[in-house]
Structure 1
């Protein structure tokens, strides 16, 4: 646990990122977090915000362009592509190994009732689930895997995968780019990142809870 916390601290340090692979490291992390089970603990939202800060740094303009706005667009395209590929890999993994996930016995990480719930959820609003999962830590790692497991329509999955990735990456990276060069933001980065996670996840959670309450009342 201490190792994980220490690793997360490094990953949210702009200077450490630039000294250890730069934004190419971010590409790898985004791919792992959005499609590989072991990446569920990685901080996607804060990392995109920090990446925006790095791009906005006047003295450390990231490659390959001299103009910051071109660099911002360039890296947002790469970040989006990385997280799209991550979701596709997660979908493939879930589909390929659904015989393991769908076995009658419960596993330590997945219960039969959860599989059925996921299946019903995707049947009703699968695309919406894939899109909003981007803004939910942990959920964004498992959502594409479950989608593959329950054999969600691939074209529908692909469309919402792309849409969700674009909205997620562009919104948070742009926010980091706009606010990241402000001294107060740099000096209070930890608090800003905590507020960011709460700001991003709260509306989604409230929306889901509201829908659930309305459904219960209807029943």
Structure 2
């Protein structure tokens, strides 16, 4: 029996391959609380690296399968999250007692107000935690269905495909790069947290 850690990208890829990419991107793109603790950026990039790894590497992933699964999971998950927010409204977002979830909801609302629907839905995809609550928040705030669907597809495809392809290009150009997956994932996680740190710094400097 294989023990699977749902928060660990290597464990998920080893157990489920491309299917794991689909499930995680689906959950992280719109399922509150559940998707909040799953790897997103730190799953897509290593998946791309493993697609370029040698045939002897386990797990062996096919690039086209990972790209398709990442795209389907990102787009479908966001649409489900939007529908949950649209029908559940603000009580759905306020039901959780998690301080991190509430803070992410507040960031998502500020993002929508500051940049408008289109830019916010694209930019928010690249911000950890925010992308999980952004789509339910958009539904609760009454973003038009057509506008949301168009821009979330653009953001979802840009986010999912760019990370997988970046990992694939690195894996293709650097020999045995798959041996350094853990440091790469750690570096990617640190980079993905920079927008959150910048936002926290701006909030702290803002006059009360």
Question: TM-score over 0.5 for the alignment?
Answer: yes
| Unmatched runs of 5 consecutive residues or more in structure 2 | none
Deviations 1:112-162 (A, max 9, x none): 999788556524422222212211221111110111111112222112211
Kindly report the root-mean-square deviation, in angstroms, between the aligned alpha carbons of the 2 structures.
3.6
Aligned length: 198
Larger radius of gyration: 1
Matches within 5 A, 1:39-50: 39-50=35-46
Residue of structure 1 in register with 2:52 after alignment: 56
Residue of structure 1 in register with 2:17 after alignment: 22
Residue of structure 2 in register with 1:8 after alignment: 7
Residue of structure 1 in register with 2:78 after alignment: 87
TM-score, normalised to structure 2's length? 0.76
CA separation of 1:117/1:198 partners in 2, compared to 1, >3 Å: closer, same or farther?
closer
Residue 191, structure 1, aligned to residue 183, structure 2: yes
Q: SS state of the match for residue 36, structure 1?
A: coil
Deviations 1:62-105 (A, max 9, x none): 9xxxxx9xx424431331121100000000001111163488xx
TM-score, normalised to structure 1's length? 0.72
The runs of at least 4 aligned residues of structure 1 exceeding 6 Å deviation read 110-117, 209-213
Residue of structure 2 in register with 1:65 after alignment: none
Q: Aligned partners of 2:175 and 2:106: how far apart in 1?
A: 49
Residue of structure 1 in register with 2:143 after alignment: 152
Q: Aligned partners of 1:114 and 1:192: how far apart in 2?
A: 25
Deviations 1:140-191 (A, max 9, x none): 1111011111111222211221111111112110111122353553332222
| Unmatched runs of 5 consecutive residues or more in structure 1 | 63-67
Q: Aligned partners of 1:117 and 1:140: how far apart in 2?
A: 10
